[in-house]
């Protein structure tokens, strides 16, 4: 059974996630964000060799940003046909992604991969995609996605969630409704409580 | 104080249901230990040495008598009949059962209380001056803004999982009493040239392993933009703060690494997008929240009261208490009173259920049914008539709540330490108790005068040892407990971080070490100098020389 929640319902996942092959080398670790501050933040990125060796199958494919960038021209037609989704990792600077794409809305799907539950960068990335960069299509959270993040993800602009394989998506649906009247304005409801309701 | 409306009540009720479900899933094995951890922490539940510890939020330190009675009843029913007020103005229970926490939260919700975001890597309880609204030197009562910020930070979706904890303090006085410079964000409210409420914003302060005082990121922020400007600061931090090393993850490390100018540039760039967005505070909203903090219905009283003056003259014990525990008030004929939770030989900040009931009764009888918790771990009755002070003193004294030591050496600020906390390197409470007993002579204590002594059981610095005039830090050396001593730390506008005097000491040595520090002060002080002034004038060296000289002698 599918573990994908989209717009408050469980649906089949039409997308194939493209994963660069492991070449048995030491993973290159890359700095977080746009500011080069520290040598190590423990976050893996793909090597040029891994990217070159990546096979992209037919059909709807979810492609890591760096893999898409290396195959930009080859994938252009498929992007136009709505067959390419862009996969961003939380340590990739969203402004770099936006700078590299002509039109983010050309992608039918943008997914943000969160390696660990505690990595809250995903919320800022979702917010920026929706509010600053005007992304209108499906925005999906994948990776260590558990039901207790869902309410925050929804409020940060996500509308689909691939629940971690060992968890029950049906039960997770409940958590989208944890709170009925949030205080602050965010992406889903941009007015704070005091502007929505006569308090 | 702020009273919940239907929206506030619904949020805490829904939180109880959510947390009950999370606890059930954990107990049923559906959530692993590691997965449950951030969930329980964001609800203030730690797993401690002997039992879980539950930290209950007291937003900006304000409590009603009804709430305090509920805390007393909860401590009695679910704990061992006492609680501990922390340096974040919260109440901690040291012995609740994990299974009981949902029930405790349900009880708290009935009195408009909760434990939301009292721990974990999120925006924590916002703290302020315990004399907010009554202090004569106050320019702006910051409580309405603190409440607006409390609501904004509660379940803030973008900042639910930050790199590390995030602490905000607000203050509206000339003399800072909220340690705004030791917070991730400090909001100092003032009146600008136009007479409008404005905010000086401090960023990147914090104690812990790397103590750093904050830097002003913006001199003048119009109050309407308080939330969006904080959004901009925390967004930069959320995206770029370190997540690979918990000891390097606070915003202060990012601010230091980037430099304040580059950090400010990034924040301002972010804010350009957020400014004037719907989270901009309106006059209407400020007025709505502000009406909860309007001036109390004071009586028109003369500035003096004959019965009070007479009692001062005839009763030296009462006079001593008034000198230390009674504070000026902006309304003629009224005073603020500190209920000392620092009786000598007891854990600082601890209060029994019976004592909580006594304080609640005092609040009802003499202070409009409200009270405050201070970051110095005492309780405050903010609005007591001069003519009632004697009665308050008698009743407080009968309950062991009138030790006349506020602001003195034995008003020790102290974390729970190794007796309770699993993070601690060393015990802190027994050190506090031993020092209190060493200075149990009240005349001597008053002669030493104002002195802040802070003890933390580890470098996480819950006892704020860096800003103690005397700071004591528990350290672990080869598995045994030692204590490092700093002097010259200070809170306030002229805040400073203390200097380590030298190699650490054993627990037994500590009362003697403090004694010798005091001896140097007594010998060197000028008539008007407090301990901290003498340290600042003559430096650390004479103190160090005397402490270690006697140590060598005793070792021979």
Q: Which of A37, A146, A192 sits opposite B278 (nearest CB)?
A: A192
CATH 3.30.413.10 region(s) of chain B?
143-290, 413-555
What confidence score (pLDDT) does residue A43 get?
A: 59
Give the gyration radius of chain B's Cα atoms: 23
Q: Mind telling me how many Å the CA of B64 is from chain A's nearest CA? A: 22
pTM: 0.93
Whether residue B227 and residue A184 make contact (CB cut-off 8 A), yes or no, is yes
Say yes or no to pLDDT of B555 above 50: no
Whether residue B244 and residue A124 make contact (CB cut-off 8 A), yes or no, is no
Q: Any idea what the CATH number is for the domain that residue A53 is in?
A: 3.20.20
Mean pLDDT, rounded, for B499-518: 96
Give percent of chain B above pLDDT 70: 98
Whether residue B159 and residue A118 make contact (CB cut-off 8 A), yes or no, is no
Say yes or no to pLDDT of B99 above 50: yes
CB B176, CB B491: distance < 8 Å: yes
Whether residue B22 and residue A38 make contact (CB cut-off 8 A), yes or no, is no
Predicted-complex ipTM score: 0.93
Domain of A153?
4-196
CB B150, CB B187: distance < 8 Å: no
Which residue, A184, A187, A180, A193, is CA-closest to B226?
A184
Helix, strand, or coil (residue B494):
coil
Indicate the CATH number for domain B306-398.
3.90.480.20
CB A174, CB A147: distance < 8 Å: yes
**Looking at the 3D structure of chain A, how many domains does it have?**
1
The single-letter DSSP state of residue B486 is E
Q: B143-290, superfamily in CATH?
A: Sulfite Reductase Hemoprotein, domain 1 (3.30.413.10)
Q: Mind telling me how many Å the CA of B423 is from chain A's nearest CA? A: 20
**Of B422 and B85, more confident:** B85
Chain B nearest-CA residue for A193:
B7
Q: Mind telling me how many Å the CA of A138 is from chain B's nearest CA? A: 19
Q: Where are the alpha helices (DSSP H) in B367-428?
A: 389-398
A31/B contact by beta carbon, under 8 A: no
A192 interaction partners in chain B (CB closer than 8 Å): 152, 278-279
Give percent of chain B above pLDDT 90: 92
Q: What is the pLDDT along chain A (199 residues), one digit of tens a residue?
A: 799 999 999 999 999 999 999 876 444 444 444 333 333 344 567 888 999 999 999 999 999 999 999 999 999 999 999 999 999 999 999 999 999 999 999 999 999 999 999 999 999 999 999 999 999 999 999 999 999 999 999 999 999 999 999 999 999 999 999 999 999 999 999 999 999 999 8
Whether residue A123 and residue B238 make contact (CB cut-off 8 A), yes or no, is yes
Other CB atoms within a 10 A radius of the CB of residue B541 amount to 9
Residue B76 CA: distances (Å) to CA of B71, B94, B303, B360, B475: 8, 12, 41, 15, 34
Q: B413-555, superfamily in CATH?
A: Sulfite Reductase Hemoprotein, domain 1 (3.30.413.10)
CB B371, CB B357: distance < 8 Å: no
Please name the residue that has the structure tokens 């805390």.
B71
Mean pLDDT, rounded, for B265-283: 98
Say yes or no to pLDDT of B154 above 80: yes
CB B405, CB B376: distance < 8 Å: no
Q: Which CATH number fits domain B6-109: 3.10.580.10, 3.90.480.20, 3.40.250.10, 3.30.1330.90?
A: 3.90.480.20
Q: Mind telling me how many Å the CA of B47 is from chain A's nearest CA? A: 18
User: How many residues are present in chain A?
Assistant: 199
pLDDT in tens, B38-73: 999 999 999 876 778 999 999 999 999 999 999 999
B395/A contact by beta carbon, under 8 A: no
Inter-residue long-range contacts of B265-268, CB under 8 Å, 24+ positions, other chains counted: B266/A35, B266/B236, B266/B240, B267/B217, B267/B229, B267/B232, B267/B233, B267/B236, B268/B232
């Amino acid at each position: 059974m599918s573990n994908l929640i989209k717009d408050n319902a469980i649906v089949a996942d039409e997308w194939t996630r493209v994963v660069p092959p492991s070449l048995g080398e030491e993973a290159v670790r890359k700095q977080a964000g746009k500011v080069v501050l520290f040598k190590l933040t423990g976050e893996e990125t793909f090597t040029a060799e891994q990217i070159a060796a990546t096979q992209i199958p037919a059909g709807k494919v979810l492609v890591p940003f760096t893999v898409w960038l290396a195959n930009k021209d080859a994938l252009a037609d498929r992007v136009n046909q709505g067959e390419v989704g862009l996969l961003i990792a939380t340590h990739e600077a969203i402004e770099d992604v936006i700078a590299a794409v002509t039109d983010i809305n050309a992608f039918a799907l943008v997914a943000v991969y969160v390696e660990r539950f505690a990595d809250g960068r995903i919320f800022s990335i979702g917010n920026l995609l929706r509010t600053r960069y005007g992304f209108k299509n499906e925005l999906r959270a994948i990776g260590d996605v558990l039901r207790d993040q869902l309410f925050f993800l929804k409020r940060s602009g996500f509308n689909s969630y691939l629940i971690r394989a060992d968890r029950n998506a049906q039960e997770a649906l409940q958590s989208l409704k944890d709170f009925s009247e949030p205080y602050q304005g965010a992406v889903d409801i941009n007015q704070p409580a005091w502007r929505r309701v006569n308090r | 104080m702020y009273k919940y409306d239907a929206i506030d009540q619904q949020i805490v009720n829904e939180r109880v249901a959510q947390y009950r479900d999370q606890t059930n899933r954990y107990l049923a094995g559906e959530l692993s230990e590691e997965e449950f951890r951030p969930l329980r922490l964001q609800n203030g539940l730690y797993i401690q040495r002997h039992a879980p510890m539950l930290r209950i939020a007291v937003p900006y330190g304000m409590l009603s008598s009804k709430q305090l009675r509920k805390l007393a009843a909860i401590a009695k029913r679910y704990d061992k009949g006492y609680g501990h007020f922390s340096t974040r103005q919260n109440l901690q229970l040291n012995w609740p059962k994990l299974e009981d926490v949902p029930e405790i939260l349900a009880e708290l919700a009935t009195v408009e209380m909760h434990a939301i975001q009292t721990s974990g890597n999120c925006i924590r309880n916002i703290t302020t001056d315990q004399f907010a609204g009554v202090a004569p030197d106050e320019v702006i009562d910051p409580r309405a803004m603190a409440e607006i910020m409390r609501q904004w930070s509660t379940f803030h979706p973008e900042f639910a999982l930050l790199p590390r904890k995030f602490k905000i303090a607000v203050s509206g006085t000339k003399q800072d009493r909220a340690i705004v410079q030791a917070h991730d964000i400090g909001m100092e409210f003032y009146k600008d040239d136009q007479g409008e409420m404005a905010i000086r914003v401090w960023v990147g302060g914090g104690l812990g392993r790397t103590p750093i005082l904050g830097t002003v990121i913006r001199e003048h922020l119009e109050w309407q933009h308080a939330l969006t400007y904080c959004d901009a600061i925390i967004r930069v931090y959320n995206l770029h703060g370190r997540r690979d090393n918990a000891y390097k993850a606070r915003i202060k490390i990012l601010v230091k690494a980037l430099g304040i100018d580059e950090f400010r540039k990034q924040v301002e760039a972010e804010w350009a997008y957020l400014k004037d967005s719907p989270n901009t505070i309106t006059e209407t909203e400020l007025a709505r929240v502000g009406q909860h903090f309007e001036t109390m219905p004071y009586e028109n009283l003369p500035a003096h009261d004959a019965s009070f003056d007479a009692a001062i003259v005839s009763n030296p014990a009462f006079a001593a208490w008034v000198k230390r525990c009674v504070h000026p008030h902006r309304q003629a004929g009224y005073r603020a009173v500190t209920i000392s939770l620092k009786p000598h030989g007891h854990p600082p900040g601890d209060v029994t259920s019976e004592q909580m009931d006594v304080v609640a009764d005092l609040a009802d009888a003499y202070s409009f049914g409200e009270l405050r918790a201070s970051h110095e771990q005492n309780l405050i009755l903010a609005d007591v008539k001069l003519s009632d002070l004697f009665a308050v003193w008698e009743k407080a004294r009968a309950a062991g709540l009138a030790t006349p030591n506020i602001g003195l050496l034995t008003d020790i600020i102290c974390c729970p330490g190794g007796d309770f906390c699993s993070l601690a390197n060393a015990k802190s409470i027994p050190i506090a108790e031993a020092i209190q007993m060493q200075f149990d002579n009240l005349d001597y204590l008053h002669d030493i005068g104002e002195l802040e002594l802070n003890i933390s059981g580890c470098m996480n610095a819950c006892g704020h040892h860096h800003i103690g005039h005397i700071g004591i830090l528990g350290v672990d050396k080869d598995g045994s407990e030692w204590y490092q001593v700093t002097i010259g730390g200070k809170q306030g506008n002229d805040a400073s971080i203390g200097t380590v005097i030298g190699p650490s000491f054993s627990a037994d040595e500590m009362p003697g070490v403090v004694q010798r520090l005091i001896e140097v002060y007594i010998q060197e002080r000028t008539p008007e100098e407090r301990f901290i002034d003498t340290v600042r004038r003559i430096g650390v060296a004479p103190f160090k020389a005397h402490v270690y000289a006697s140590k060598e002698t005793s070792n021979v």
